[in-house]
Amino acid sequence: MQAAEQVELQHRIEQLFDSRPDSYSDANRRLFEGFRDLLNRGLVRSAEPDAAQPTGWRVNAWVKKGILLGFRIGGIVEMPGAIQQFFDKNTYPVKRFTVNSGVRIVPGGSSVRDGCYVGRGVTCMPPMYINVGAYVDDGTMVDSHALIGSCAQIGKNCHISAASQIGGVLEPVGALPVVIEDNVLIGGNCGVYEGTVVKARAVLGTGTILNRSTPVYDLVRGVVHRATDDQPLVIPEEAVVVAGSRAIQHGPGKDWGISLYTPVIVKYRDQGTETKVQLEDLLR
């Protein structure tokens, strides 16, 4: 997509979003459908890499506005062609694949909503769900009962293990969505929320929860990683994070022996880590 074309599309999307008409015309619908096609092809994204940003990522608020326009424009209908009857906005049907898409969808009840990018070599284990605006890059595995939230950005060759929840962040439009960079392993029953950025080759152990409210204690480097008012939590490259606890040091909590949950970086990837995570390649 040429830069001039994107600038023009952005202008038209923002104008329609900010000046809501009494009713939407056929031209408005065609504008949205063209925008949705670009989402499906991965040519526009709600967030994209940007080395000039502290997190390495830039949010594209206008893309989020375009996604939200789809909910405004659409009406609730019975969706055709689904195995199970359901009702949703007619602007966001089930995403259609062909064998030439190069996506492996194992039978058993998975669902992928239209308006998201799913790269070649992605494996979808049942049942899993990928929401509108998400970007799932080549070679990633989305395991059973996993959720990829709206606008979440998932890199190449990741493993999103069973029952893990990758939040998105569609609103507010200026907020960075959750970002999982290339070659990240997300263990089973993990949750990553509120715009957290997990940098390349990191590993989250089973049951790890990451959000803006919970600091991450780095035992290797002796630092504490936190979100700030204007920046999300960022997990460093190759960090191995596990679920831990931190004792309350004062008041009734100390008297009662209570500890609070906290994620802990226990090491950075080494040869032992590589041996454990490479087994997933046999399943692709």
Q: What is the pLDDT of residue 52?
A: 97
- 226 pLDDT exceeds 90? yes
Q: Tell me, what's the pLDDT at 263?
A: 98
pLDDT in tens, 110-162: 999 999 999 999 999 999 999 999 999 999 999 999 999 999 999 999 999 99
Q: What is the mean pLDDT of the chain?
A: 93
**Per-residue confidence band for 78, with pLDDT thresholds at 50, 70 and 90:** confident
Domains for the chain: give ranges and CATH numbers: 3-73 (1.10.166.10), 97-269 (2.160.10.10)
**Predicted TM-score of the model (pTM):** 0.94
Least confident of 3-17, 74-88, 247-261: 74-88
Please report the pLDDT score of residue 283 as a whole number. 60
Tell which phi-psi region holds residue 177, choosing left (phi > 0), alpha (psi between -120 and 50) or beta: beta
Note the pLDDT of residue 276: 65
3-state secondary structure of 43: coil
Residue 83 has pLDDT above 90, yes or no: no
Q: At what angle do helices 61-73 and 26-41 cross, to 10 degrees?
A: 130
